[in-house]
Structure 1
Amino acid sequence: MDKLTEPDKAESKRPSTARGSITVSIWTMVSRITGLLRVVVIGAVLGPTYFANAFLAANSVPNLTYTAVAGPVMGLVLVPAIVHSLGAATGAHPLRDTADMLAKVTGYLLTIAAAAAAALALASPALAYAVTAGIPDPAVREHAWELTVLVVLFVAPQVIGYTVAGIGESIQQARGRFALAAAAPALENFGLIATMGIFALVYPPGVDVMDVSIGMVLLLGIGATASVAVHAGAQVYGARQVGLPIRVRRGWKSDPVTTEITKRLRSSVIVAGFPAISMFGMLALAATVPGGTFVFQAGMSMYFVLSALGAKSVVAAALPGMSVAVKEKDNARYGAAWRQALSFGVTASLPAALLLLAFAGPVAGVLANGKLATPDILNWLTGCLAVFAIAQFANSINEIARQALFARLDVQRARTISTVVLIVRLGVGAASLLLPLGLYRLLGLCAAVLLGEAVAAVLGLHSIRRAIRPERLVDYRRLGHLALATLAMLPAAAVGAWLAQRQDASYAAGHMVQIAICVAFGGLAMACFVLVVAKLTGQLPKLLGKIRGKLLPG
Structure 2
Amino acid sequence: MTGTVMPTAGRTRTAARDSVTVAGWTLASRLTGLARVAVVGAVLGPTYFANTFVTASFVPTFTYASIAGTALAMVVVPATVGTLTARGVARAGAVLGGVGGFLLSVAGAIAVLAMIASPALAWLLTFGIADAAARTAARGQATVLILLVAPQIVLYAVVALAAAAQQARGRFALAAAAPAVENIGLMTTVTVAGLVYGTGREVAEVPFGLVFALGLGGTLAVATHAGLQVFGAARVGLLTRPRFRWWSDPDVAEVARRLRRAIVVPACPQVAFFILLTLAGTVPGGVVVLQAAYLVYNVPTALGARAVSTAVLPRMSAAVQRSDHPGFASAWRQALTHVAIVSLPVLLLLLFFARPLAQFLANGELRSASFVDQLAGCVMVIAVAQVVAGIHEMGRHALFARVDLNGPRLASLAYLGFAALVGLASLTLPGGTPRLMMLAAALLVGDLAGAGAVITRLRAAIHPERFADRRPVTAAAVAAAGMLPVLAAGWWLLAATTSGRLTRFAEMSACGVVALGTYAAMFRATTRPSTRRAS
TM-score by length of 2: 0.96
Aligned-residue CA RMSD (Å) = 1.7
Q: Which stretch shows the higher mean deviation, 276-285 or 533-542?
A: 533-542
Matched to 1:29, the amino acid is L
Residue in 1 aligned with 2:514?
524
Greater shift, 515-524 or 435-444, is seen at 515-524
* Aligned residue type for 2:307: S
1:534 is matched with: 524
Indicate the residue corresponding to 1:512 in structure 2: 502
Residue aligning to 1:545: none
Deviations 1:324-364 (A, max 9, x none): 00001111000000000000011111111110111001100
Partner amino acid, structure 2, of 1:533: F
Residue 57 of structure 1 corresponds to 55
Give per-residue Cα distances to partners, 1:213-252, cap 9 Å, x unaligned. 1111110000000000000000000000011114211232
Alignment counterpart, residue 75 of structure 1, candidates 58, 73, 91: 73
The one-letter code matched in structure 2 to 1:173 is Q
- Percent identity over the alignment? 44
Amino acid in structure 2 at the alignment position of 1:528: T
Cα 1:527–1:213, aligned 2, differ >3 Å: closer, same or farther? same
Q: Distance in 1 between the 2:27 and 2:357 partners?
A: 16
Provide the C-alpha distance between the structure 1 equivalents of 2:167 and 2:259, rounded to a whole number of angstroms.
Answer: 18
Post-superposition offset of 1:18: 0.5
Equivalent residue for 2:341?
Answer: 347
1:417 corresponds to? 411
C-alpha deviation, 1:517, in angstroms: 2.0
The offset of 1:209, in angstroms, is 0.3
Structure 1 residue aligned with 2:245: 251
8 Å Cα contact 1:534/1:540 also seen in 2: no
CA distance in 1, matches of 2:4, 2:167: 11
Q: For 1:16, what is the secondary structure of its paired residue?
A: helix
- Aligned equivalent of 1:394: 388
**Superposed CA offset, 1:76-103 (max 9, x none):** 01110110001111xxxx2111111110
Amino acid at match of 2:334: Q
SS across alignment from 2:528: coil
Q: Contact 1:27–1:183 (CA<8 Å) still a contact in 2?
A: yes
SS at match of 1:84: helix
Q: Deviation per CA, 1:445-495, whole angstroms, max 9, x where unpaired? A: 001001111121122211110111101111111211111011111110111
- Offset at residue 9 of structure 1 (A): 9.3
Question: Structure 1: how far apart are the matches of 2:182 and 2:502?
Answer: 29
State the partner residue of 1:324: 318
Give the corresponding residue for 1:19.
17
**Larger deviation: 246-255 or 316-325?**
246-255
Task: Output the CA distance in 2 between the equivalents of 1:9 and 1:189.
Answer: 40
Bigger drift between 47-56 and 458-467 goes to: 458-467
Aligned to 1:547: none
Is this contact kept in 1: 2:105–2:244, CA < 8 A? no
Unaligned runs of 5+ in 1: 1-6, 543-554
Q: Distance in 2 between matches of 1:337 and 1:63?
A: 31
1-structure distance, mates of 2:103, 2:155:
11
Does residue 267 of structure 2 align to residue 262 of structure 1? no
1:468-507 equivalences under 5 Å are 468-504=462-498
Following superposition, the deviation at residue 11 of structure 1 comes to: 9.4
Query: Which AA in structure 1 matches 2:58?
Result: S
Output one character per residue of 1:177-232: Cα deviation in whole Å (capped at 9) or x when no partner.
11100000001001001101210221111111001111111100000000000000
Which residue of the other structure, out of 142, 148, 168, is the alignment partner of 1:174? 168
* TM-score normalised by L of structure 1: 0.93
Distance (whole Å) between structure 2 residues aligned to residue 391 and residue 452 of structure 1:
9
Q: Which amino acid is 2:24 matched to? A: I
Aligned residue type for 2:358: A
Structure 2 unmatched ranges of 5 or more: none
How far the C-alpha of 1:271 sits from its partner, in A, is 0.4
The residue that corresponds to 2:92 in the other structure is 98
Displaced runs of 4 or more, over 6 A = 7-15, 539-542
1:358 aligns with 2:357: no
Deviations 1:8-54 (A, max 9, x none): 99998997111111000000000000011011000000001100000
Are 2:195 and 1:201 equivalent residues in the alignment? yes
Amino acid at match of 2:504: Q
Instruction: Summarize deviations over 1:363-390 as a string: whole Å, max 9, x none.
Output: 0011111000100000000000111111
Does the residue aligned with 1:537 lie in a helix, a strand or coil?
A: helix
Distance change in 2, residues 1:540/1:529 (3 Å):
farther
- After TM superposition, give the deviation of residue 541 of structure 1 in Å: 11
Q: Report SS of the residue matched to 1:322.
A: helix
Distance 1:511 1:263, change over 3 A: same
- Looking at structure 2, the residues matched to 238 and 220 of structure 1 have their Cα atoms a distance apart, in angstroms, of 28
> Per-residue deviation at 1:497?
1.1
Aligned to 1:35: 33
The aligned counterpart of 1:550 is none
Report the alpha carbon displacement of residue 503 of structure 1 after superposing the two structures with TM. 2.3
Note the alpha carbon deviations across 1:144-165, whole angstroms, 9 max, x for none: 1111111011000000111100
How far apart, CA to CA, are the structure 1 residues paired with 2:277 and 2:240?
Answer: 34
Shift of 1:307: 1.3
Aligned 8 A contact 2:189 2:217 in 1: yes
Deviations 1:108-147 (A, max 9, x none): 0000110111111122122211111111110110111111
Q: Pick closer, same or farther for the CA change 1:10–1:349 going to 2, 3 Å.
A: farther
The aligned runs of 1:270-289 (5 Å cut-off) are 270-289=264-283
- Judge conservation of contact 1:380–1:439 (CA < 8 Å) in 2: yes
Q: Provide the C-alpha distance between the structure 1 equivalents of 2:477 and 2:195, rounded to a whole number of angstroms.
A: 49
> Is the contact made by 2:99 and 2:256 (CA closer than 8 Å) also made in structure 1?
yes
- The answer (yes or no) to whether the contact 1:488–1:529 under 8 Å persists in 2 is yes
Map residues 86-165 of structure 1 onto 2, 5 A cutoff: 86-89=84-87, 94-165=88-159
Determine the structure 2 residue equivalent to 1:548: none
User: Which residue identity is paired with 2:32?
Assistant: T
**1:539 Cα offset (Å):** 7.5
- Aligned equivalents of 1:143, 1:298: Cα separation in 2: 25
CA contact (8 A) 1:275 1:422 kept: yes
Cα shift readout 1:293-350 (whole Å, capped 9, x = no counterpart): 0000011111111211111101110100000000011110000000000000111111
- Once residues 67 and 5 of structure 2 are traced to their aligned partners in structure 1, the CA distance between those partners, rounded to angstroms, is 30
Alpha carbons 2:34, 2:292 under 8 Å: kept = yes
